[in-house]
């Protein structure tokens, strides 16, 4: 239960792709945290006992939805030893043990609190070391912790030696093993399944390796069938056309990162009979890649192979986004938080990069992060818009985010399920921010 709320005289930024603004609106919220009215202020009677926030001169938009997050670290450069395949098994065993899990629970609580304090009210995790995000999700649902809505994945599924394996992955090469992994994760309470369809930038062994197909289409199909039976969507890390095509054919619901898309792939996105709902969506993530492209290797610690691969993947991702816009493929937003240089408070930067590097209008970027992401993740009845019947997941800013996206860096308040955070605060890493400010 939360206290009934009325936000008066607000300019509502609806989050549609055209950038519609509604002037001088009053939003009322009941004690269950649902929006009950959005109407011109003069027509609304503020309920007795409601807390009133005068939003004259302020902008109110739907809470941001981060469709691609990891929560195991804070975004400062990861220690290379953690990604070293030679110690990977030890790292994975430690992280899934009692001490590692306790440590990860602390990290996860901090991470979701930081995202919430910068306006992110829904987070899908897509690759966790263990089931710590499921645990934090439970704490939030039971009201023990004020946090965003979580859609946890648990560990992703990868082939032996594949992307994310074994630190944040369950490993399997045959149909029975991957089926067992999906069932185990579902029984542990995950509400998303993530797989590595192709290799990635960080583990590339040679130039051009990053988008190489890894998981077989047959195994991906087994995973999708198991997940879909439980009503759970499947996300695939996929960075090359062949891997994307195989993943979509197998029934994957969201392609993470992406690449240039051929005509047959475009058709599969828009009409995908094997997916849960008949369509698939694209979730690009620019922020994790851009530092590797822009910064000196002495700063990023990346080797030459990783840098060249990052440049290739970044161009491919931009190509995929442009095609998605042209061809009306559902386009979402994710940050790849917790990876090196991707902090939990910098979600606004992903929108900024989508605008400046990929050519989205500010309205399209905000739409991707709100209404479109809600539809993509299947929570459009619950959140993603400032409309009666949806949860009061809102961000109040001093400037119009459509003309000044950086205003989301320091919201005046954040509302999650009707609970108001009045003075959102986060711990920042000034050195890291200065580096990214140069891009």
- The binding site for Zn ion (CB under 5 A) comprises 336
Calpha distance 29→6 (Å, rounded)? 6
Provide the 3-class DSSP secondary structure of residue 16: coil
The minimum distance between CB 127 and Zn ion, in angstroms, equals 6
Nearer to Zn ion, 14 or 153 (CB): 153
Residues 6+ away with beta carbon under 8 Å from 229: none
**Residue 151 exposed, middle or buried by CB count within 10 Å (0-12, 13-18, 19+):** buried
* Sign of the C-alpha dihedral computed for residues 226, 228, 231 and 234 taken in this order: positive
Tokens describing residue 129: 């070391």
For strand 35-40 and strand 21-29, is the pairing parallel, antiparallel, or unpaired? antiparallel
Nearer to Zn ion, 7 or 235 (CB): 235
Nearer to Zn ion, 27 or 339 (CB): 339
The minimum distance between CB 419 and Zn ion, in angstroms, equals 28
Cis peptide before 166 (omega within 30 of 0): yes
Tokens describing residue 281: 């969506």
Residue sitting closest to Zn ion (CB)? 336
Nearer to Zn ion, 13 or 220 (CB): 220
> Going edge to edge, which strands form the sheet with 234-238?
169-171, 156-158, 193-196, 234-238, 254-257, 281-283
Nearer to Zn ion, 25 or 191 (CB): 191
Tokens describing residue 427: 């711990």
The minimum distance between CB 333 and Zn ion, in angstroms, equals 13
- Written as one string, the DSSP assignment of 283-319 is E---TTTHHHHHS-HHHH---HHHHHHHHHHHHHHHH
The minimum distance between CB 88 and Zn ion, in angstroms, equals 16
The minimum distance between CB 403 and Zn ion, in angstroms, equals 30
Instruction: State residue 405 phi and psi, 5-degree precision.
Output: -65, -25
Nearer to Zn ion, 128 or 336 (CB): 336
The minimum distance between CB 361 and Zn ion, in angstroms, equals 26
The minimum distance between CB 219 and Zn ion, in angstroms, equals 20
Strand partners, 10: 25
The minimum distance between CB 347 and Zn ion, in angstroms, equals 14
Q: What is the DSSP letter of 368?
A: I
Nearer to Zn ion, 132 or 336 (CB): 336
Nearer to Zn ion, 185 or 413 (CB): 185
Calpha distance 246→214 (Å, rounded)? 10
Calpha distance 328→249 (Å, rounded)? 19
Nearer to Zn ion, 168 or 224 (CB): 168
The minimum distance between CB 248 and Zn ion, in angstroms, equals 18
* Location of structure tokens 């011109």: 40
């Amino acid at each position: 239960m939360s206290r009934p709320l009325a936000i008066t005289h607000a300019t509502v930024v609806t989050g549609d792709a055209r950038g519609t603004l509604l002037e001088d609106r009053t939003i009322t919220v009941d004690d269950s945290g649902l929006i009950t009215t959005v109407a011109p202020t003069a027509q609304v009677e503020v309920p007795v006992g409601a807390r009133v926030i005068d939003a004259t001169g302020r902008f109110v938009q739907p809470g941001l939805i981060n469709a691609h997050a990891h929560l195991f670290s804070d975004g400062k450069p990861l220690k290379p030893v953690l990604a070293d395949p030679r110690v990977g098994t030890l790292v994975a065993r430690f992280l899934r043990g009692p001490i590692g899990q306790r440590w990860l629970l602390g990290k996860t609580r901090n991470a979701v609190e930081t995202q919430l304090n910068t306006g992110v009210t829904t987070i899908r995790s897509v690759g966790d070391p263990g089931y710590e995000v499921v645990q934090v999700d439970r704490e939030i649902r039971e009201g023990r912790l004020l946090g965003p809505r979580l859609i946890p994945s648990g560990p992703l599924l990868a082939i032996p030696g594949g992307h994310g394996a074994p630190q944040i992955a369950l490993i399997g090469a045959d149909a029975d093993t991957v089926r067992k992994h999906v069932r185990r994760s579902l029984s542990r309470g995950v509400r998303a399944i993530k797989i590595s369809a192709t290799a990635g930038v960080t583990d590339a062994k040679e130039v051009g390796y990053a988008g190489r197909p890894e998981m077989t289409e047959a195994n991906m199909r087994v995973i999708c069938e198991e997940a879909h039976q439980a009503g759970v969507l499947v996300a695939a890390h996929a960075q090359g056309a062949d891997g994307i095509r195989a993943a979509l054919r197998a029934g994957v619901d969201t392609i993470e990162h992406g690449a240039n898309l051929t005509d047959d792939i475009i058709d599969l996105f828009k009409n995908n009979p094997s997916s849960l709902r008949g369509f698939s969506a694209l979730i690009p993530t620019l922020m994790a890649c851009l530092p590797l492209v822009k910064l000196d290797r002495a700063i990023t610690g990346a080797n030459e192979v990783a840098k060249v691969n990052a440049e290739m993947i970044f161009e491919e991702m931009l190509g995929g986004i442009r095609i998605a816009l042209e061809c009306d493929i559902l386009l979402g937003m994710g940050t790849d938080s917790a990876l090196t240089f991707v902090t939990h408070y910098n979600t606004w930067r992903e929108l900024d990069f989508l605008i400046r590097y990929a050519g989205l209008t500010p309205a399209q970027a905000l739409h991707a992060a709100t209404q479109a992401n809600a539809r993509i993740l299947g929570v459009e009845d619950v959140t993603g818009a400032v409309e009666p019947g949806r949860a009061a997941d809102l961000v109040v800013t001093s400037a119009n985010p459509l003309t000044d996206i950086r205003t989301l860096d320091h919201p005046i308040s954040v509302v999650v399920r009707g609970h108001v955070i009045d003075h959102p605060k986060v711990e920042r890493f000034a050195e890291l921010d200065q580096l990214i400010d140069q891009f």
